[in-house]
């Protein structure tokens, strides 16, 4: 009977670990298209808007390009759209023109 109890306890522990992992993923706020929401994303947005001196944040994503941790897409007050890449301490890595913006008028 001890062996059966150990197996049940082990199975329950695995199940709980799976549930905890799923809860952590949901709490991170990834909406499936790469956009992240939550307190960390809010801080990244605020830092990006400070860097661009205002505008509108369109999306916040986790990033790994150019040594960045965060990418915030911002439409500046002049209408141009840029990607603001930030490190894990929300310091500026680089501001790039948004390559996904459409300049196609045809």
Residue 4: pLDDT band (50, 70, 90) is low
Q: What is the pLDDT of residue 10?
A: 54
* DSSP designation for 81: E
- Rounded distance between C-alpha atoms, residue 83 and residue 94, angstroms: 8
Residue-wise pLDDT for 16-65, tens only, equals 554 344 333 344 444 445 788 999 999 999 999 999 999 999 999 998 88
Instruction: Return the closest-CA partner of residue 28 out of 12, 44, 40, 13.
Output: 40
Is beta strand 81-86 parallel, antiparallel or unpaired with respect to 92-97?
A: antiparallel
Q: Got the DSSP string for 21-62?
A: HHHHHHHTT--SSSB--SHHHHHHHHHHHHHTTS-EEEEEEE
Helix, coil or strand: residue 105: coil
- Rounded distance between C-alpha atoms, residue 55 and residue 53, angstroms: 7
């Amino acid at each position: 009977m001890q062996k059966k109890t150990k197996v049940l306890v082990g199975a329950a522990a695995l199940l709980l670990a799976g549930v905890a992992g799923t809860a952590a993923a949901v709490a991170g706020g990834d909406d499936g298209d790469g956009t992240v929401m939550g307190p960390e994303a809010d801080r990244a947005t605020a830092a990006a808007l400070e860097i661009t001196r205002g505008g509108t944040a369109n999306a916040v994503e986790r990033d790994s390009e150019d040594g960045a941790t965060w990418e915030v897409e911002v439409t500046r007050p002049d209408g141009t759209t840029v990607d603001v890449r930030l490190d894990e301490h929300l310091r500026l890595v680089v501001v790039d023109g948004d390559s996904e913006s459409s300049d196609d008028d045809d």
